Structure 1
Amino acid sequence: MIQLLMMTSTKIAVALRDVRRYLGILTEQEARLAYLEQAQDRVDLEWRMRELDRPRRTVSFPGNNWNL
């Protein structure tokens, strides 16, 4: 029974992966890599790498919520 469930979940995972690829939806890792590959030079690449490594900060004020 467990083996059947594992086989079924594997088939579902493969089907979802194929649908994602067909629709052109990137995983987070693929999106990060594509963003880095667009760098024009070494300085641009380093800036993009730092930007991806930097944690997102959220500033909240009463009634406002801005993502920086």
Structure 2
Amino acid sequence: MACSGPKDEQRAPALQLYRGVINQTYRAVTLAGAVPKVMILSALHGFIGPDLEVEPYDVRLALEPATN
């Protein structure tokens, strides 16, 4: 799943940090105690696991590919 613009205001595991619709929906339908089998595409960090602690940041995924 992709990261989202809305984020929590403090460092948290990635699955809890992101506050977008996809992330909220996933949390709502996941059974309590279930271990999520997802990877998150972060605009800053690339693919990360749901338990990786991440500081809030303000970077968006680009529509255009990098030109380096």
Task: Flag the structure with more relative contact order, 1 or 2, with Cα contacts below 8 A and sequence separation at least 6.
Answer: 2
Interval containing the TM-score (normalised by the shorter chain): under 0.3
Whose helix proportion is higher, 1 or 2? 1
The structure number with the bigger radius of gyration is 1
Structure 2 length-normalised TM: 0.21
